[in-house]
Amino acid sequence: MYQWETTQAVTAQRVFGIIRTAGPKEAVAAAEAVLNAGLHAVEIALTTPRALTALARLAETHPDALVGAGTVIDAAAARAAVEAGARFLVSPSLHPEVIRTGHRYGVPVFPGVATPTEMVRALEEGADALKLFPASAVSPSWLRDVRAALPQAPVLPTGGVTIDNAPEWIAAGAVACGMGSALTSGGARSAGERVSTLLRTLAEAR
Which residues are the active-site residues? 43, 131
Type of residue numbered 164: D
Rg of the chain in Å (alpha carbons): 15
The reply to whether omega before 134 is within 30° of 0 (cis) is: yes
Can you tell me the distance from the alpha carbon of 58 to that of 81, in angstroms, rounded to the nearest whole number? Answer: 12
Dihedral sign, CA of 16, 134, 124, 98?
Answer: negative
Question: What separation in angstroms does the CA of 4 have from each of 95, 103, 128, 142, 157?
Answer: 20, 11, 8, 27, 19
Can you tell me the distance from the alpha carbon of 78 to that of 25, in angstroms, rounded to the nearest whole number? Answer: 22
